[in-house]
A and B are shown apart, each in its own frame.
Chain A
């Protein structure tokens, strides 16, 4: 089975950098994804790591270390519109679905 743990809430200041961690237990997976969800909205794909290391997409970066069963999402130059919930997810080996973590609610304050 799969389990993914994330902090439930994070607060950060506008313009700052924030890191959202995700630790996981899985019997095998293709990679780790990150999704953003604003209140009342749908999950939106941000980034994924199929291999270990850092992937950068604009202000967002994602990191994966399979040996440590750990990943994180890094958000730089925080903006108020970044206030949302962020989910990590794995795609289990042999399947095509995503298994989502519990989500981290990010609040950006002025």
Chain B
């Protein structure tokens, strides 16, 4: 299996621009997660989906962030407009379980820099 696939791997953009991060989970996995990692805040959950349905988006910082999962094999995280404080590594992860998942598989991440 190819594992969780994320694109782009690196993104540099200017403040105010729209950014779209993409994720393809492992085939057969039923849950997908978006995490953000920074030195200050560590690894934090933004949103997760079970069977393509958003379950918990309480970690989404504000209305500038949105996430979609139109089908079982694709998800996007969009930031519009982007701000310098959004600079971070964004990870997508997936797992088979829809509750109590302790074993999650992470993609390589997208390193976002907003100038």
A69-96 toward B: CB 8 Å interface, digit per residue (1/0)?
0000000000000000001010101111
Closest CB of chain A to B57's CB: distance in Å?
A: 11
* A-B interface pairs (CB < 8 A), number: 64
B68 part of interface (Cβ distance < 8 Å)? no
Closest partner residue, chain B, to A45 (CB atom): B103
Q: Chain B contacts of A45 at CB under 8 A?
A: 103-105
A97 part of interface (Cβ distance < 8 Å)? yes
A-contacting residues, B1-60, CB 8 Å: 31, 33, 42-45, 48, 50, 55-56
Among B42, B43, B93, B95, chain A packs the most CB atoms within 10 A around the CB of B43
How far apart are the CA atoms of A44 and B42 in the complex, in Å?
Answer: 15
A50 part of interface (Cβ distance < 8 Å)? yes
Q: Chain B contacts of A43 at CB under 8 A?
A: 43, 91, 93, 106
B71 part of interface (Cβ distance < 8 Å)? no
Q: Chain B contacts of A97 at CB under 8 A?
A: 33, 45, 48, 56, 101
Closest partner residue, chain A, to B107 (CB atom): A42
Closest partner residue, chain B, to A30 (CB atom): B100
B47-90 toward A: CB 8 Å interface, digit per residue (1/0)?
01010000110000000000000000000000000000000000
Q: Which of B50, B102, B107 contacts A91 (CB 8 A)?
A: B102
- In the complex, are the beta carbons of A42 and B45 less than 8 A apart? no
Known: A95-B56, A97-B45, A97-B48. A42 touches B108 (CB 8 A): yes
Closest partner residue, chain B, to A33 (CB atom): B102
Instruction: Given contacts A98-B33, A100-B42, list 19 more A-B pairs with CB under 8 A.
Output: A30-B99, A42-B91, A42-B106, A45-B105, A87-B43, A89-B102, A91-B100, A91-B102, A93-B100, A94-B99, A96-B31, A96-B95, A96-B97, A96-B99, A97-B101, A98-B45, A98-B102, A98-B104, A100-B43
